Structure 1
Amino acid sequence: MAVAKEHYFYVLECKDLTYYGGYTTDLARRLEEHNSGKGAKYTRLAKRRPAQMIYHETFTTKSDAMKAEYAFKQLTRPQKEKYIQENS
């Protein structure tokens, strides 16, 4: 029997105070990848590292987590701040 895997949408606050939203199944591993320069192209830039994980949501399906990531990325900076504040 397959073990249910958790899927996460997460938000990083980068050193340059920008936000990065992403998807993963392992939050600790993904944060380490970002901070070691092996994560997304956006966080590979030295001016954005280190980043800290400031928010995450758990989903039962990859599709739902990725929909949350996409929706977050469509928001303006003030909307992103409001989203994080209201959902934390």
Structure 2
Amino acid sequence: MTPCAYILLCSDGTLYTGWTNDIEKRLAAHNAGRGAKYTRGRRPVTLLYSEECASKSEAMSREAAIKKLSREEKLLLSEGKIS
């Protein structure tokens, strides 16, 4: 399983950023209400963006960097317009 950082689009239009070793399992957990507390009341969530990383620490660092981006920058990242 490959570590990755990801961005979810919540049903209320907000964005959630996280990291995981198994994106499909984590997405299912979010939608089942077993994911992050933030997403429990904002289901269903859809995967907006994911980025594979070489290691867990790299995925965690990338998650932290993405969280510092503005909403607009996160949307541009998901569209492939910035990296």
TM-score higher than 0.5? yes
C-alpha offsets along residues 6-59 of structure 1, whole Å, 9 cap, x if unaligned?
1111111010111111111111110011001110011011xx100001110111
Normalization by structure 2: what TM-score? 0.90
* Corresponding residue SS for 1:9: strand
Match among 55, 61, 66 for residue 72 of structure 1: 66
Question: Is structure 2 residue 2 aligned with structure 1 residue 9?
Answer: no
Q: In structure 1, what is the equivalent of residue 18 of structure 2?
A: 22
- Unmatched segments (≥5 aa) in structure 2: none
* Corresponding residue SS for 2:11: coil
Q: In structure 2, what is the equivalent of residue 56 of structure 1?
A: 50
Bigger Cα displacement from structure 2, 49-58 vs 76-85: 76-85
Tell me which amino acid in the other structure corresponds to 1:32.
Answer: A
CA distance in 1, matches of 2:7, 2:71: 13
Higher helix share: 1
Deviation at 1:87, TM superposition (A): 5.5
CA distance in 2, matches of 1:54, 1:39: 16
Q: Aligned pairs, how many?
A: 82
* Corresponding residue SS for 2:64: helix
Over the matched positions of the two proteins, sequence identity in percent amounts to 44
For the pair shown, the structure with the greater C-alpha radius of gyration is 1
CA distance in 2, matches of 1:80, 1:31: 18
